[in-house]
Structure 1
Amino acid sequence: MTAPARAGRRFGPPALMGGGLLIVGAAGYGFLALSGHTLSTADAAAVASLYLLINMIGPGVFSALEQETSRTISARLAAAADIRQVRRRAALVGAGLLVVVVLVLLAASPVLVGKAFGGRWILLVALIFGSATSAAVYLVRGLLGGSRRFGGYATTLAAEGLARLVPCIAVAVAGSPNAATYALLFAAGSAVAALAGLPALRGGSREPSADSAVSVTTMARASAVLVGSTLLAQLVANLAPVVVSGRLTTDTATAAAFASAFVLVRIPLFVFAPVQAMLLPTLTAAATRGDLADVRRKLRLILAAVTVVGVLGALVSFALGPWAVRVLFGAQVTLPAVALGVLGLGTFALLIAQVLQPALVALGMHRAATLSWLVGSAVLTGLLFLPGDPLRAAVLGQIVGSVLVVAGMGAALSAALREKPVT
């Protein structure tokens, strides 16, 4: 038995996932705080854009690979079938997705470098590197989550956080901080995380059986649909500060403050980030049995917890947000408390969506999830470019877009749980 497995038996999956998430979340905020205090405002804004883009492109594309891999493995384990072919097919799908991502980034490089990175081409290299390392770690997490090896999953979270933050602190202490070094070190953290999760994947495969064939085409098609969903989810969650930075090229201090504030109000999303990893296998098993009552029961419980966390997060964002942005992130501009409170409410809506999506995926309703994110992201994007104050447009777009996503998902899921027979 591996060390993560022994830890999982001793402490339980929720505690392990929570601990790993605490480390990776703290590392993310520590990274932004470190760059805000040690870099110029222009460099800090560029690094913040890189941070947000890696968290948009990496999880946006490759968490779809994780979800589909986890769902497929969960279903096959429930049917006592071999999962080794799933591992191979998932790796092929992940490689294909990475090629597409790199091509898109290269095509968009003039805009990315000129607007988001302030002319720093090395940050584009870091972004491509970060996409590759994200592909690796999300593949590993999909394999671990589907097999319910949450001790190993938690290990990847902790390793990612430590590998991102500790080297950056060493660079800062050495007195040679710069945007390029921070960016490359941040991107390398996911590679360390993927390697840390590999020991937990050893063993556990069943002998091949007659029904063990897994079509790479089927996995690729399902993953492609989910890519649309997860990428749009990341756009809704992270696009606003990138657009604000692009519109406020002559006011980098305000742009950096808004980016820091945006990350700050996303803390509840980090708290609940592993919920999908733990919820999806459970809901998939219930859906495979056709037990819609069990699906409804589990969703009610988790949504009640989400409500507590989301409302509390919005209140804290309103009351302490401006102070925290100024003190913790070194912002030179104080943002309105109301703006941070509304952004906190947008985070609450995204928390609900984070719970509804795995339920839709478990029921095979990938397209319904994608359509909901498409509507929300389209409205958000339109509002972000309203004339006038970019900050006001960003806050309005964030809350409206997020609420529309939840409304679409809720309607689709409600109809499915009432009427749809699961096979």
Structure 2
Amino acid sequence: MKRLRSLATALPAGIRTVAVGTAVLGVASYLQLAVAGHSLTTEAMAGVSVLWTIVMSVGIGLFLPLEQELTRIVAARTVRGEGARPVLRRATLLTCGILGVILALMAAFARPLADLLLHGDTALVAALGSAFAAMAFCYLTRGILAGLGRFTPYGTQLAVDGALRMLLAFGCAAAGLHSALAFSLIMTVAPLLALLATLPATVRAVRPGPPQPWPGLVRGLGPLMVSTLLAQWMVSAAVMSVQLLEPDQVDLVAALLSALVLARVPIFVFGALQASLLSGLAGAAAAGRHADFLAMLRRACAAVTLLCVAISVPAVVLGPWLIHLLFAAPEVLDRADFLCLCLGAFGYLLAMVLGQALIVLHRHRAQLLCWLFGTAVLVGVTLVPGPIEGRVCVAFAAGPLACAAGMLWSLRGAVPRRPSASAPAGAEAEPIPSA
């Protein structure tokens, strides 16, 4: 207990506030899927499972990089005493442009998307597009809030989103709805209302400041977006691989999604750490506090290791029984499958922590190469002959662990171990060179 308390107090300020919102949103995700699993047919639930997986993989892959870059930029401006209003304005335009391109492509290819992934239901493609739109602007405001260290409204947005997801899911069930579209639209309505509830606090928090150059805003966004897309695809690849390779395995798709929800509990919890960790690392790097940077990174790695051990043991032992009880999932997975899924979640979390350090050190390309390496390992294992459920579970473990190993190697000697001289007041530190 003393070790856990020391880790908690060493983490960046604001983590407790965000943790509450993350916990509510995590529980809501479980309940939303559980209620849907008990309200829908297996085929309809498979459609919701795939849509939920796309939102939580492709959607996060597209828009989480925006939050991360905004957090880094705004945190550095805060160290220099500069306001973030110009960043918010340009980031809003950038978000609208990215979202416009995505929605146009989805409209143009709605029928192929529906046939390939959503059992021919074009209404679910529309629901997917609306979920992307709500998600885009949520991540925009969260990036500004995290960079400013305003974690109360950040956590509030998460909590309101989660509370609404629970209310709407139970409302659909109470109304006797058996529509995949109804349960899918929850992923649009809840985050949109949460955004509106916290938007005034975001606007009040930003102050005028010097202009934000476009190159500084978009320079690292491309590699980071590709990296995050690969990361989110990797953590959801088990479901998508089955859907693409053996689409008739609807029982396995539904069971895998339920199992991944259980195995990914540490990833939901990490959401409480990620925003404040990136903000803290960016502030330490901008001020030239290399010793603080390294200490924060080590403690974050220790925290996610303890978290994964604490959650994975009961998940492996009770997982097959729990997913059937909670989500009405078909009984097609065993404890060995759950062990692979939990190992994959640990590798993913470790890669996310190390990836935050690479982002702050302006090593976006190194991070991208590591995710490409992990993806290649995952694809290679998936394509090995054998039963599909075994292949996708082992691949889920191998890919993230390979990526984390690559990032650890990339960070060797990247930060000086001796305390540096204090950075000049108001100056942003240069990127710390890699060995």
Q: TM-score, normalised by structure 1?
A: 0.92
Aligned to 2:357: 359
Aligned to 1:310: 308
Whether contact under 8 Å (2:252, 2:389) holds in the other structure is: no
Is 2:389 aligned against 1:368?
Answer: no
Q: 1:173 to 1:206 in 2, by over 3 A?
A: closer
Given residue 320 of structure 2, which amino acid in structure 1 is its aligned partner? P
Q: Is the 8 A contact 2:19 2:273 kept in 1?
A: no
- Are the equivalent residues in 1 in contact too, given 2:26–2:268 (CA < 8 A)? yes
Gap change, CA 1:107 and 1:340, over 3 Å in 2: farther
1:394 positional shift: 0.5
Unaligned runs of 5+ in 2: 1-12, 421-428, 431-435
State the partner residue of 1:410.
408
Query: Is 1:384 aligned to 2:382, yes or no?
Result: yes
Identity of aligned residues (%): 35
- Match for 1:218: what amino acid? G
Quote the residue 1:173 is aligned against. 174
Deviation at 1:35, TM superposition (A): 1.2
User: 2:34 and 2:206 mapped to 1: Cα distance?
Assistant: 43
Counterpart in 1 of 2:433? none
Structure 2 residue 69 is the aligned partner of structure 1 residue 68: yes
Q: TM-score, normalised by structure 2?
A: 0.89
Equivalences for residues 94-105 of structure 1 within 5 A = 94-105=95-106
Question: Post-superposition shift, 1:303?
Answer: 1.2
1: CA distance, partners of 2:63 / 2:217? 13
How many Å apart are 1:107 and its aligned residue?
5.7
CA contact (8 A) 1:76 1:83 kept: yes
| Cα deviation digits, residues 305-360 of structure 1 (max 9, x gap) | 11111122222221011011110010122411111011101101111112111111
Query: In structure 1, what is the Cα distance between the partners aligned to 2:343 and 2:242?
Result: 19
* Aligned-partner Cα distance in 2 for 1:34–1:189: 16
User: Which of 208, 211, 222 does residue 220 from structure 2 map onto?
Assistant: 222
Match of 1:9 in 2: none
1:136 paired residue number: 137
Does the C-alpha gap of structure 1 residues 186 and 109 become closer, same or farther in structure 2, counting only changes over 3 Å? same
Number of matched residues?
Answer: 409
**Counterpart-to-counterpart distance in 2, 1:198 and 1:218:** 25
Distance 1:82 1:254 in 2: 50
Give the conservation status (yes or no) of the 8 Å contact 2:317–2:335: yes
Unmatched tracts of structure 1, length 5 or more: 1-11
Verify the 8 A CA contact 2:291 2:417 in the aligned structure 1.
no
Structure 1 residues 50 and 207 mapped into 2: Cα distance closer, same or farther (>3 Å)? closer
Greater mean deviation of Cα atoms: 74-83 or 96-105: 96-105
Q: 96-105 vs 168-177, which deviates more?
A: 96-105
Aligned partner of 2:294 among 279, 293, 296: 296
Tell me how far 1:269 sits from its aligned partner: 0.2
Equivalent position to 2:262, from 261, 264, 279: 264
Bigger drift between 255-264 and 127-136 goes to: 255-264
Instruction: Give the structure 2 partner of residue 21 of structure 1.
Output: 22
Once residues 226 and 160 of structure 1 are traced to their aligned partners in structure 2, the CA distance between those partners, rounded to angstroms, is 26
Per-residue deviation, 1:282: 1.0
1:189 shift after superposition: 1.9
Q: What is the CA-CA distance between 1:155 and the residue it aligns to?
A: 0.7
- Residue 194 of structure 1 pairs with residue 221 of structure 2: no
Q: Distance in 2 between matches of 1:96 and 1:377?
A: 28
Cα distance, 1:111 vs. partner?
4.5
Cα 1:205–1:141 change in 2 (3 A) is closer
Cα gap change, 1:103 to 1:408, in 2 (>3 Å): farther
Is the 1:314–1:343 Cα contact (8 Å) retained in structure 2? no
The aligned residue for residue 10 of structure 2 is none
| SS across alignment from 2:201 | helix
Aligned-partner SS, 1:343: helix
Question: Which residue is 2:331 aligned to?
Answer: 333
Q: How far apart, in 2, do the equivalents of 1:353 and 1:316 lie?
A: 23
For 1:35, the equivalent position in structure 2 comes to 36
Q: 269, 272, 275: which is aligned to 2:273?
A: 275
Within 2, Cα distance between the matches of 1:136 and 1:317? 34
1:345 counterpart = 2:343 = yes
Deviation string 1:11-37 (CA, Å, 9 cap, x unpaired) is x72322111111100111111111111
Single out whichever of 298-307 and 110-119 deviates more from structure 2: 110-119
Whole-Å Cα distance in 1 between the matches of residues 239 and 207 of structure 2? 47
**Structure 1 vs Structure 2 CA RMSD:** 1.9
The separation in 2 between residues aligned to 1:105 and 1:388, in whole angstroms, is 34
Q: 1:109 and 1:408 mapped to 2: Cα distance? A: 37
